[in-house]
Structures are given as structure tokens and as C-alpha cells.
Structure 1
Amino acid sequence: MYPFAFTKASDTHAALDAGRRGGRYIAGGTTLVDLMRETVERPETLVDISGLPLDEITVTERGGLRIGALVTMSEAAADRKVRTLYPVISESLELSASAQLRNMATIGGNIMQRTRCTYFRDVTADCNKREPGSGCAAVHGHNRSHAILGTSDACVATHPSDVAVAFAALEATVNLLGPDGERRIPFAGFLLRPGRAPHHEQAVRKGELITSVEIPAHPRPLKSGYLKVRDRQSYEFALTSAAIALHVRGGVIREARVAAGGVGTVPWKLPAVERHLVGERPSPALWAAAAEQAADGARPLQYNRFKIELLKRTVERQLRIVGGTK
């Protein structure tokens, strides 16, 4: 680990001032400290923001939900409001990491975490995320766990967050505070696809601080859930996952929100699946037909072609679970 300076922000103003001068924000530190140990990240200054008043979960005036950036994963998963309004969020958090990590890691840090690509974490390997212009060793390397959607010639790494998939499905908004004031970014534009600049991973400006993630109100009743498929049952990242929310009234699907994880360079919204569902009556045949659209646009690599079929089956299975038909 390289030497660094450390300061604890006494209030939001102090945090923003330190961030404006190049400090890196840290709260739980469950990802950043690991990357520093591996010398992947080399920040000169860490700014501890764990004492800031950003740790509340509140229902918005319109019936949505606002989750403070410093709420821990375990707190959010256990919160009665989260579990009642959006079970998909609770389930995605409970299927993430170990209990010890969930007790430390924050919601803001979770959506800012960097890829688990082994080439990114191996400082001897070529990686455009770590060293722009060096190349991508995963393109022709061992790429079984890598992305099939949203890739480019410069990067094929997946985004590792589970709860980010739920946020993408629910069309959340990220609230930020920076030197120029407050800003809101739709979640679909918060995490950036790699393109030719995979080292630009989030639409966060220098010195900006995530204050909360806000989920809009969705029509009721709303059934939702998260399914994660992985090589082993616990403490493993997704090969595929599906976050689904359905509003069914009068026996007809009025709204559908579907996103996938483990397959995209960012949490991947599935609008073709959503369009196939809306206006239809729930049935096993409908779930199967809608899930066929899940891998539209996929570009599989040498060792991850299996993800195309696995993604379709994951989406179909979770539609059956959430939709309540066998």
C-alpha cells in the first residue's frame, strides 16, 4: 500500500472542500481499501465521511423511497419500509457479500464500487480501466465471468453490484452534492458504459458527494424480487441475475420493470422484455416469450456464450416467481 493522508470530515462543507482539492471519499471502505492494498488504487488523500448525516431512510411525499448514501447494506435490507415497498432491494442486498461486509459497506459506496475483473485487480495485466490505453487482457483471456452486453473493444468487465440492478429496474435517481450545488442523475445515466474510455465509470464530477438514492413511487400493488445465479450459493458474484417489479391490476400487467446483472458492463435494463409484458395477462407462456428478448444485442466472448441462455432462463424463472404462476 502506498502512503496517503487521512482526514475526517466534520460536516458536509468540510467534506466537499476536501473533495474539491482531490480527496477521495471513504465510509465503509470495503472496496477502496482492498484496491489500495493491491495497489490498484493510489489515492493521495482519504476523506472519512462516515460521520455525516446521510444515514436515513425516508418515504418521499409521493410515496417513493429515499435511502441515504451512508445507510449500510444491512440496515437498508432490514428496514421495514424497504422490505414493504420494494422487496427487490432487500433481496438484492441480502444476496450480496457476507454479513460482515454488509454491516460495513454503504449504499453510496456499493454503487461506486469498481469491477471484480481479475485482470483489473492484477497490476501486471493490461487493463484500460486501470491504465487507459494499455489494452484489455480479458477480451482474449479467461472471460467466463465477463459481460455480454454493453461491451466495447476496450473493456468487457461486468459491474459487480446487486443492489444497483434493483435500482436500475426501479428507475432510481442518484442525488449528489458538489461545489456547484445539488444535482440529480437518473440511475440509467449514473454508471457509464465503457466505450473507448472505460476508466470513466460514473457520471460524478470532481468533489461531488452522493447524498442519497431515490426510488420513485410506483403504482400499487407492486410485486418485486431479485434472483441471483452464481457458481456457489454464498459469497459469490452473479453469473446472471434478474430484478423484476410487476404491477398487475384486473388480471393484466400494467407496468413492468426488469433489469439484469452479471451480464452487462453496467446493470442492464431490459426494455424489450418490459414491452412484451405490458398489456398481457400473466401466464407461463408469456414469461417464456418475454424472456426470449432478454439477451437482445448480446456479444458473447470465447468462454461466456453460455450466459445468453442462462440469462433468458434467469429472467423467465424470476418472472414466474414474481408473477405468481408456475
Structure 2
Amino acid sequence: MRPFGYERADEISGAIASLERNPNAAFLAGGTNLVDLMKLEVVKPDELIDVRRLTSDRIEELPDGGLRIGAAVTNSQLAADRRVRHRYPMLSRALLAGASTQLRNVATTGGNLLQRTRCAYFQDVTAPCNKRDPGSGCSALQGHHRDLAILGTSRSCVATNPSDMAVAMAALDATVRTQGPAGARTIPLVEFHQLPDGEPQHDTVLGRSELITAVDLPPLPFAANSRYRKVRDRASYAFALVSVAAALDVADGVVRDVRLALGGVAPKPWRASRAEQALRGAPATEESFRRAAEAELADAQPLSGNAFKIPLARNVIVHTLLELAEERR
């Protein structure tokens, strides 16, 4: 690892100012992804600004019945919180599916949203990669791409977003709260991550000196009937081939409302809006669920090695929704 400086900031404004002064500095919280990338020399900051103690490590009730999750809340804290487990079980399950206990004890909510892709070519500094070196090309197009994206891709990049937590938060209509040089702002989580069309090197819409301070979950009563299902090559500590975060509201055999997001299939957590639209008002049957899944996946553009993800995603969506419908009968 290359030598680097370290600063523990005393306040958010000071941390932002430090990053503004040094264009090659980076924020550090849990560091579970950043430090790995530094070891590989994928990223080479010359200074780390420690922000772990600047943002809240609490989960707080909001006046509307939602929850505010401080950016410094660890993945273990969030997964174990009684309110999260009861009101938003898909989120707790997603976090528990995401990493080992040791990593969850250190990784933060803010940092989880900023994970970089685990595409092998992004992590290999000898290989062309537009996400790491814009304009160099995408090695995955003609190389190993079994694990990579089938939705929202471009010729510039077919990498997938690795976060399990973010998939559940996308389904739950979470909002990201940030602080930057221009002040505070809120960003819907479904708009927080970017597709790779024009600038594959930028994963999110954050400004370079902008810091995540919290994530808000709105009240969603039927999210108590929710599930996160992750399909992977081995039973633990593997990234998703396909994952589904789903919440379902059924009355008299008809879908009143639904939330659905996919992981492992796109460069960002993929909110399945087309499937949701097809399901609202439809019978809560396997046939309806299958038609909705097929509508969502109609625009998939797989490469030769990952076309299997289309039927896999369809089947996981259908199976997950069927289980949720059964629980409401």
C-alpha cells in the first residue's frame, strides 16, 4: 500500500473543507471497501479524512412514522434493530445476506451505499476498465462477464452494483441525506446511483466533497410483509447473481400495492417499476407474477456468458412474490 496521510476531522464542515483543499483525498468511515481498493492500487488517495465520528450512529423515529438511519450506523446495528426487523424485514435480511459478521460490525450505512463494483477487471489495474480509467475500454465485454449486468448497461461498462442493503432501500423508497460545500440536500435512493452511459467512472450523483449524513425510510405499513432473496454461487459471503427485494399488499386475492427491486443485474440497484405497474390491481397469482417479471426483463441485454440471469431473475421474482402472497392469505 502506498503511504498516505490521515486526518480525523472535528466537524462536518471541516471534513468537507479538507477534501475541497486536496483533490486526491478521500473520506474514510468503516473502510471495508476503500482499504481493499487501496491495497490493490485501484484507488490511490494521498490523504484519508476520517468522518466516522461526525455523523450519527443512531436510528431515530421520524414524526411521520418512518426511521432516520445515521450514516455511521453499522450494518450489524441496522440489521438487528427491532424496528427494522418488524417494519422493514427485507432490509434486515438484505444486510444479513451481505457480508460476514466481522465486516457488518465495521461497515457503515453511508459506506455501504458507496461500495465500488467487484468486477474483476475494475480490480485488476493491468486490465482496461472505463470505470477505473475512463476511455480505456471495457474488458468484460469480451472477457469474463458471468456475474455482470443484463439491465441498464452500455458499451462503456457492464459492471454490477454489489450492495444488498441498497437494493432493499431502493424498494423502500429511501432518501439519502447529504452535506456538501453548497449545503444540505436530499436524494431519492433510486436516483442516487448512476447508470454508466456517459461517465462510467462515477457510480453516484454525489459531488466529490459531498458527505452522506443519514438515510430516511418512509413509513410503509405493508413493508412488514416483505422479503429479500439472494441467489449466489455459494451459501455465504458471496455477491448476488440475482437478488430480489419485495413487499406485497394483497386483499381479496388482488394486489393492492407492491414494491420490487433487483440486485446483481444492473450497475445500480434496479427498481422494477414496470413490474410494479403491471401488478397493481392484478390477481395475486403465479401467472400475474410471471407476466410482470417478464415485462421488467423485456429490455435485458445479456452477454453470451450471463443470459442465464434472465430466467433466473424471472423465477426468483415469481417465487418471492408467491411466498409473500401466501403469507397474506
Whether TM-score is above 0.5 comes out as yes
**Match of 1:320, SS?**
helix
CA distance in 1, matches of 2:254, 2:221: 13
Identity of aligned residues (%): 48
Say which of 48, 65, 68 aligns to 1:66: 68
Q: State the SS of the aligned residue for 1:138.
A: helix
**Residue in structure 1 matching 2:92, options 90, 94, 107:** 90
Q: Which moved more, 1:127-136 or 1:275-284?
A: 275-284
Does the 8 Å CA contact 1:54/1:70 hold for their aligned counterparts? yes
Structure 1: which 5+ runs fail to align? none
**One-letter amino acid matched to 2:16:** L
Q: 1:196 to 1:81 in 2, by over 3 A?
A: same
- TM superposition shift of 1:315: 0.6
Of 197, 203, 206, the residue aligned with 1:204 is: 206
Aligned to 1:288: 290
Residues 52-201 of structure 1: pairs in structure 2 closer than 5 A: 52-201=54-203
Instruction: Tell me, yes or no, if structure 1 residue 277 matches structure 2 residue 274.
Output: no
Match of 2:8 in 1: 8
Residues in 2 aligned to 1:153 and 1:292: alpha-carbon distance in whole angstroms: 24
Q: Secondary structure at the match of 2:266?
A: coil
CA RMSD in angstroms comes to 1.5
State the shift of 1:253 in Å.
Answer: 2.1
Give the superposition deviation at 1:221.
6.8
3-state SS of the aligned residue for 1:264? Answer: coil
8 Å CA contact 1:246, 1:322 repeated in 2? yes
**1:176-255 to 2 correspondence within 5 Å?**
176-220=178-222, 222-255=224-257
Q: List runs of 5+ in structure 2 lacking aligned partners.
A: none
The range that moved more, 287-296 or 183-192, is 287-296
In structure 2, what is the Cα distance between the partners aligned to 1:79 and 1:311? 29
Regions of 4+ moved over 6 Å = none
The count of corresponding residues between Structure 1 and Structure 2 is 326
Kept after mapping to 2: 8 A contact 1:219/1:247: no
Judge which range, 272-281 or 98-107, deviates more: 272-281
Give 3-state SS (helix, strand or coil) of 2:249's partner: strand
Superposed CA deviations along residues 249-281 of structure 1, whole A, max 9, x for unmatched, are 454322111010001111111112111211133
**Superposition deviation, residue 246 in structure 1:** 1.6
For 1:143, the aligned partner's letter is: H
Q: Is the 8 A contact 1:261 1:267 kept in 2?
A: yes
- Residue type at the aligned position of 2:324: V
Quote the Cα distance in structure 1 between the aligned partners of 2:249 and 2:165: 20
The letter for the 1-side match of 2:4 is F
Provide TM-score, normalisation by structure 1. Answer: 0.96
Separation in structure 2 between the aligned mates of residue 126 and residue 293 of structure 1, nearest angstrom? 34
Do the aligned partners of 2:87 and 2:221 also contact (CA within 8 Å) in 1?
no
Deviations 1:113-144 (A, max 9, x none): 10000000000000001101100000110110
C-alpha displacement of 1:207: 1.4
- Are the counterparts in 2 of residues 19 and 208 from structure 1 also a CA contact under 8 Å? no
Distance 1:282 1:136, change over 3 A: same
1:324 equivalent to 2:326? Answer yes
